[in-house]
Amino acid sequence: MSKKPQLLGSVPLKDVKDRETVRWVQAQLAVGGYLAPTDADGLVGPKTLAALAAFKKDFYLAFPADLGPSTIDALADIEPKHEVIDQAPKPTATNLNAGTKSGASATLPKVGLIYANEMIVPGSFITWGEMTNNLTRLPYGTSEFGSPEQVVTNMIAMAKAFGKVRTKFGSPITITSAYRPPNLAIGVGKSQHKYGRALDVSPLNGDYQGLLDAIRAVPEVKGVGLAGPSKGFWHLDIRPGSRVSFSY
């Protein structure tokens, strides 16, 4: 079954009689690394139930043994698991200089002279320093990830989307990882961080569920990475296309 199943309500997975629906669920769980591809046999056994429960725990979905429309939607969006990398220590207080033209400075294409503590976009709640690791990771052009001008454009768009998340959340958010230049030998090959259109974030007040709800509520966010409180962050990005989700 290539097309996702349509369910009107929630039912225990063990009670689903349609083997093609079960096989689709198993195949999606295998994409996310929760089940071996060879276990996608259309039969609900202990491995499948354990995989579904683990998936729902990672994705903050209730009722670990049940299958319903929200679980189907989350499974349809799933990507392979990502590796946790490049996470800066979380500060215990906000930057009192944020929003001022202070700190380190640099000249970037498209925007000219910028300062580490300067907001990327007024009201965006994210500074150039947070996006570029205090201006130590400046836009780096490649044929694959775009020119420096395109990277700056991506950063501005990412800042605007983050501003909407921050407004919905209503409380300070820490940036634990942002732009990763392609010449920096970390991360997966096609990481959205290398385009300047991804952030890893952590709620300063510890409300991970509330922050995840805010991230999911912003349509511009197309990639949602579910690390959670155990790993200390959520991932969000503005990649092209429809929304995808993945765990770590």
pLDDT in tens, the chain (248 residues): 568 898 888 999 999 999 999 999 999 999 999 999 999 999 999 999 999 999 998 888 889 999 999 999 989 989 898 888 999 887 778 899 999 999 999 999 999 999 999 999 999 999 999 999 999 999 999 999 999 999 999 999 999 999 999 999 999 999 999 999 998 887 777 899 999 999 999 999 999 999 999 999 999 999 999 999 989 999 999 999 999 999 98
Delimiting residues of CATH 3.30.1380.10 domain(s) in the chain: 105-247
Element (H, E) at 48: helix 46-58
Fold of 11-76: Muramoyl-pentapeptide Carboxypeptidase; domain 1 (1.10.101)
Delimiting residues of CATH 1.10.101 domain(s) in the chain: 11-76
Q: Are 26 and 73 in contact (CB under 8 A)?
A: no
Give Cα separations from 125 to 96, 164, 203 (angstroms). Answer: 12, 9, 13
Class of domain 105-247: alpha beta
